[in-house]
């Protein structure tokens, strides 16, 4: 499904988030009921639990409670101040070890692949979490277009640097611009998404418009927002949080309940909207898909 420009969308075609969520719940419930008669009781319980685990967080919570330090350190600051960000026109510069470097307009990147829907858990290092219905392009589809060479061992991403639009950058809270990175095999994994929207709409500014990274098995600070540069490197990138506070924020940032943050436990998390905390899942619940990327690694040291 292509994301149209706002002017091209008739208001009657926009599904309100509440109806969107109810429609999804209806379809999922119907599918579960159809299959339930074929399952033994234990399997039915497991299916119901799995369905509840990926119930999307309400749109109003996803868009009102965010980490986006370019607009302030408070969770409500991005929604309060991000309207100052202009996301059109938008250009992404591609550099480094690839055959097709250059400056690419946002429209050219979106034309590489029609965005698809992915419902992913989002787990933040402060031990809160959400379930987000993203729209996006699998990152490997985009990176393959730039033809990385054999020397490209990592992919570095950089956020827009513009203090006039991003008031948080007028402070020394972080070493601006924000930089994140992945190993090339992590970046090319089918789960990794270049997000362009959520809940069937364009990505709101406070959630990282117009392009953000989504790596669902990692803590949220890896999912860099408002990307303006992609660079293929031979050496591990010097990323913002891992460089500024290496004892608390490692380069890999894989969700691991047995490795605590120095100031709090990571064994439990609070899903936004839930009353009680739940167990944190290894690799945020995606261990079956991604654990093989780290075979033989000490995940206590490489956190």
Could you count the other beta carbons within 10 Å of the beta carbon of residue 108? 13
pLDDT at 30: 42
Q: Which residue has the higher pLDDT, 35 or 157?
A: 157
Angle (deg, nearest 10), helices 41-53 and 17-36? 170
Q: What is the pLDDT of residues 13-31, one digit of tens each?
A: 334 565 555 555 544 434 4
Could you count the other beta carbons within 10 Å of the beta carbon of residue 52? 9
The pair of three-digit structure tokens given for residue 194, joined into one six-digit string: 């270049």
Q: What is the pLDDT of residues 120-130, one digit of tens each?
A: 999 999 999 99
What is the mean pLDDT of the segment spanning 269-276?
96
This prediction has a pTM of 0.85
Give the largest Cα separation in the chain, rounded: 60
Rounded to the nearest 5°, which phi and psi values hold at 212? -140, 160
Q: What is the pLDDT of residues 34-70, one digit of tens each?
A: 433 443 443 333 333 445 789 999 999 999 999 999 9
Q: What is the pLDDT of residues 183-231, one digit of tens each?
A: 999 999 999 999 999 999 999 999 999 999 999 999 999 999 999 999 9
pLDDT at 16: 54
Domains and CATH numbers, the chain: 54-294 (3.90.420.10)
């Amino acid at each position: 499904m292509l994301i149209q420009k706002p002017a091209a969308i008739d208001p009657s075609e926009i599904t309100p988030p509440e109806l969107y969520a109810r429609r999804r719940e209806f379809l999922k419930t119907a599918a579960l009921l159809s299959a339930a008669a074929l399952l033994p009781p234990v399997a039915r319980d497991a299916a119901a639990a799995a369905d509840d685990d990926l119930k999307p967080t309400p749109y109003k919570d996803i868009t009102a409670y965010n980490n986006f330090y370019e607009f302030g350190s408070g969770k409500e600051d991005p929604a309060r101040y991000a309207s100052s960000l202009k996301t059109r026109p938008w250009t992404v510069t591609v550099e480094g070890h690839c055959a097709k470097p250059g400056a690419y307009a946002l429209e050219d990147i979106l034309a590489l692949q029609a965005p698809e829907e992915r419902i992913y858990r989002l787990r933040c290092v402060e031990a809160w979490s959400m379930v987000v219905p993203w729209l996006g392009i699998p990152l490997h589809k985009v990176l393959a277009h730039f033809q990385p060479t054999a020397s490209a061992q990592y992919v570095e991403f950089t956020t827009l640097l513009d203090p006039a639009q991003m008031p948080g950058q007028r402070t020394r809270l972080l070493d601006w611009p924000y930089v994140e990175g992945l190993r090339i095999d992590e970046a090319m994994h089918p789960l990794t998404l270049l997000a362009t929207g959520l809940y069937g709409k364009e990505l709101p500014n406070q959630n990282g418009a117009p392009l953000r990274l989504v790596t669902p098995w990692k803590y949220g600070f890896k999912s860099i927002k408002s990307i303006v540069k992609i660079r293929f490197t031979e050496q591990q990138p010097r990323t913002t949080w891992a460089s500024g506070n290496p004892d608390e924020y490692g380069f890999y940032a894989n969700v691991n309940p047995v490795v605590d943050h120095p100031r709090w436990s990571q064994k439990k998390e609070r899903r936004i909207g839930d009353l009680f905390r739940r167990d944190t899942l290894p690799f945020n619940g995606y261990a079956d898909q991604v654990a093989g990327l780290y075979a033989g690694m000490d995940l206590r040291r490489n956190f």
